[in-house]
Chains A and B, each alone.
Chain A
């Protein structure tokens, strides 16, 4: 392994090395700084004359004359093992807790290979997160990638830990191995310790692997961190038969890092300065979720991103939405009204919902209840803006009922405590209870037999003169 001292240029995270030979594209590089410190990097562009190396880490302290560069002859690999569970690593995969590095059972290329679409299996196992707005209206299934579209100042982290803590598969899968992989990408120390505290407190840490790249860590590392997390996830899922939930926060920081490197390489920028290949790049992260034939384990992804300026058409949420199977959108309006978790059901969507619900999976009335709640809430919201113009008095009686329904829906269905774990039955019953305030003729999206079977009991209660707060919701 030759060492080169032929650095000719240093620009941001990029180092240009001249007169190299036998170097492969994407090969891993070790750079020794003049003060003896070592940094890792990767070959981005290689020709017969020179290599362009991207350094994962700070390039301060590098100089042209004394820096030496060693090409390691292999692409970036991660040593994986089941002992990684319960451990905390840096954004580059080095132990961050005081313990030694776990002995690797296998070394895997972190960029991963594409899953053959022919070998994929349809995700269909319902995951109960205990959060009503997700379970009932945007159901998550094993093997899905469902991002949270948040914005700065919204409590997406609380929602993420709640999901990580409460998620379980009902029915046959209940006893199978479950693991959480958490990748922090450029988040603050405070946020990271919130996650760690919560994981420790609830005992989730022993089933978790944490990769932390914090806000003051080099931004180039952020390109690596999610890939380490997913490589570990693939190992645990497809080699060790575990069901893995991967939480990556915050993808916005990842995209910023991508843009930073693209501009350092003087590439032609695409929309808002992000590189033109951002879609492809993001897909190599998001598409590493799923179920495949012949393997027991699954990978479910929960990426979190903050929409710059609350703008859902910004390239980051936009490209993400085109790749992922739906999105959970948090709303500032709901948050202002003190409704938490502020999941706005209207723009939220789970594309795989139909695969995971219904008889034998959740309950036969699930689809109908979800549609009816959605329609009722959407209608109520429309009427809210109408009544702001024409006044509540000029609305019909049914319309006023819808207004009330929308309020109750927000206060009781969307709002739930951060430790409140509602089963799907509780959630659906709560839905029926809220729907009982609407006239039965309005419930066009649910089958009549289901109204009879599940909705009737709440209707009777409501017919009573003084509708005391029903006990069913307070569990």
Chain B
């Protein structure tokens, strides 16, 4: 039911429309002669306040406003993967074809290609009853991802046929309450409404990221939430991109929200070249990119986060493990603030609207490991990793604080580490994960029973180092007892040879859990033997001068198929200290 009204006021991205009958909150409207996309965000009497997702320059009072009577939605169907969208799911590649290198206004393009033919294989037979979420059939969307077509209504499946279809072709019919409802390869979903599931599970499986500091000291669970706050230049984006590249998620949704255009270009150029370690296919085959760069309209930036998470939930419902990277949620919060300001709402802390905390919590709550609707029974997860850009790097500001309240993993980027070129610049003492305990059984079973102890001991060493450093600052390292000097040496080894990891090094960029375990075991063994040797009266100089130290320093560069070399180092440590002890 389309209704028509007219514009009565324009002030930046917020406009007022009058005379829209039966307008509902969050309905999408088309504004002006150019039919710009907008959304109703407030209704006062006959006035609808609309945020416009495109530049409003030149709009005049009196121009028509048409309501589509439908809230902001995305199209869900095969063809989403490998796409590059703006904040409201318009494909940027198609926009380029239509409008050239600059994004102009009022461009109307379908989010997914409706002309492309897909080979649909029905997995259900007609005649039976279906529930919402039941898998009707499959489409090979990319070389590595099988797209599941799910029922959107419950009823009797009266017709379903395999074959070649475009999105506009009917593939079957479901009879529901006496009505015949056609089934297509795609359907629409409202972005602000979470997709339902049967049940949420506790997070007990880690998301392997290949980044040692994360996997070891601040593990992220599948279906969990994490935040990465950090000042500019500390490596938020590199960290996010590394996580997108190496984490063992089956689908990655990367939302560049209010960030640099060149950064998105970098992702776009790099992902097709990078190879997924599991499938051997380009990473792009499992990736969706959403880019609303900082100079694109602010209202669409607000929507981009929801567009991203809705796509993530859709793939979760097929039974996949999905990671959503949002870079950066601060820009999203600023978009909220900007629009709230235009609405002349009473500001909360630092000008952010009072509902900031609620909106953030709602967003992160859409993460989770779930039992999906429908049959066959399946499990999927959405892991949300949000970057936060606190002004001046000071995390006492509202966006960081409200994010910390709802996320379970805190990856603390530290400017001073970045300045020292310690990358990833995550601070080992300040980062934390609340999943550590719940994930330990998994590690004990799948990595090694001694992993939790090993990790806790290593952390204790790093903490001890921080205490000792304070003393060293005052009196110099030589004043410490030999054992404590040895601790400083081992802690340095942990920092430089274990935690430091180059995102650009071909081997070091990714470390499997097994490799991490072997590396950490070697360092902790070194520590054990060093302290033992000191007890036997060996001089500190000869303890820290052992040859095997260089081998430990180069452990990072040992490829994944040569874990034996890491085990050999363990033996070398023992052998060298044995001889030291004898002397």
Q: How far is the CB of B168 from chain A (nearest CB, A)?
A: 25
Count of A residues near B, CB < 8 Å? 74
Q: Is the CB of B9 within 8 A of A290?
A: no
A313 to B11, CA, bound (A): 31
Given the known inter-chain contacts A113-B102, A117-B92, A279-B334, please indicate yes or no for A122 contacting B57, CB distance below 8 A.
Answer: no
Which residues of the other chain, A, contact B258 by a CB distance below 8 angstroms? Answer: 279-280, 283
Given the known inter-chain contacts A122-B266, A267-B341, A271-B350, please indicate yes or no for A117 contacting B293, CB distance below 8 A.
Answer: yes
Given the known inter-chain contacts A117-B265, A120-B261, A276-B338, please indicate yes or no for A48 contacting B95, CB distance below 8 A.
Answer: no
Annotate A379-418 by CB proximity to B: 1 below 8 A, 0 otherwise. 0000000000110001000000000000000000000000
Q: How far is the CB of A95 from chain B (nearest CB, A)?
A: 27
Which residues of the other chain, A, contact B60 by a CB distance below 8 angstroms? Answer: 22-25, 46
A198 to B16, CA, bound (A): 51
Annotate B248-284 by CB proximity to A: 1 below 8 A, 0 otherwise. 0000000010101110111011000000000000000
Which residues of the other chain, B, contact A390 by a CB distance below 8 angstroms? Answer: 476
Which of B125-133, B294-302, B354-362, B401-409 binds A?
B294-302
Which of A162-170, A186-194, A346-354 binds B?
A346-354
In residues 313-364 of chain B, which contact A (Cβ within 8 Å)?
331, 334-335, 337-338, 341, 344, 347, 350-351
A325 to B264, CA, bound (A): 13
In residues 104-125 of chain A, which contact B (Cβ within 8 Å)?
109, 111-123
Q: How far is the CB of B201 from chain A (nearest CB, A)?
A: 36
Count of B residues near A, CB < 8 Å? 65
Q: Is the CB of B101 within 8 A of A295?
A: yes
Q: Is the CB of A277 within 8 A of B296?
A: no
For residue B532, CB closer than 8 A to chain A, the reply is: no
A112 to B102, CA, bound (A): 9
A121 to B268, CA, bound (A): 10
A99 to B61, CA, bound (A): 41
Annotate A296-328 by CB proximity to B: 1 below 8 A, 0 otherwise. 000000000000000011110011011101110
Q: Is the CB of B58 within 8 A of A25?
A: yes
Given the known inter-chain contacts A118-B93, A371-B421, please indicate yes or no for A293 contacting B101, CB distance below 8 A.
Answer: yes
A294 to B504, CA, bound (A): 29
For residue A284, CB closer than 8 A to chain B, the reply is: yes
Q: How far is the CB of A59 from chain B (nearest CB, A)?
A: 21
User: Which one of A45, A284, A321 contacts B10 once the chains associate, using CB atoms below 8 Å?
Assistant: A45
Which residues of the other chain, A, contact B335 by a CB distance below 8 angstroms? Answer: 280
Q: How far is the CB of B64 from chain A (nearest CB, A)?
A: 14
For residue A287, CB closer than 8 A to chain B, the reply is: yes
Given the known inter-chain contacts A24-B59, A269-B351, please indicate yes or no for A347 contacting B268, CB distance below 8 A.
Answer: no
For residue B22, CB closer than 8 A to chain A, the reply is: no
A123 to B380, CA, bound (A): 39
Q: Is the CB of B347 within 8 A of A280?
A: no
In residues 388-417 of chain B, which contact A (Cβ within 8 Å)?
389, 391-394
For residue A62, CB closer than 8 A to chain B, the reply is: no
A residues contacting B by CB (< 8 A) are 21-27, 44-48, 75, 109, 111-123, 143-144, 238, 267-271, 275-277, 279-280, 283-284, 287-288, 290, 292-295, 312-315, 318-319, 321-323, 325-327, 346-347, 349, 351-352, 354, 371, 374-375, 378, 389-390, 394
Known: A111-B55, A313-B393. 19 other contacts (CB 8 A): A21-B61, A22-B60, A25-B56, A26-B56, A26-B58, A46-B10, A48-B61, A113-B103, A115-B261, A115-B295, A116-B101, A122-B265, A144-B262, A270-B351, A277-B334, A280-B294, A293-B101, A322-B389, A327-B233
Q: Name 17 interchain pairs, CB-CB below 8 A, sorted by A.
A: A45-B11, A48-B9, A48-B62, A116-B99, A116-B101, A118-B291, A119-B100, A121-B265, A271-B391, A275-B341, A277-B298, A287-B261, A315-B391, A322-B232, A347-B419, A371-B421, A390-B476
